[in-house]
Amino acid sequence: MNKAKLLKVVNPILFVVFVIQAAMGLVMFFNLNFISLRLAFLIHKYNGVPLIILWLTHITLNWSWVKTSYFSKKS
């Protein structure tokens, strides 16, 4: 599978995992009561691992863009 096709799979999953992570963080921070804090903590805790793996995959697949954008010498 080439990079473009792989990014089309990784990016939407990364977005969903990020939204879940942020939502559970907000639930715990603001002590919202629509789910239990214990469940929110467990979701937040176990959602973190795929988030990191997907983020690293995303950065790896886009590394040539990162190098060009941030590490190239500009005149």
Q: To the nearest whole percent, how much of the chain has pLDDT over 90?
A: 84
Q: To the nearest whole percent, how much of the chain has pLDDT over 70?
A: 97
Angle among Cα 61, 49, 67 to the nearest 5 degrees reads: 25
What are the E-state strand segments in the chain? none
Token digits for 48?
């973190």
Per-residue pLDDT of 1-35, as tens digits, reads 799 999 999 999 999 999 999 999 999 999 988 88
- pTM for this structure? 0.86
* Stronger pLDDT, 67 or 34, i.e. the higher one: 67
Pair 20, 48: CB distance under 8 Å: no
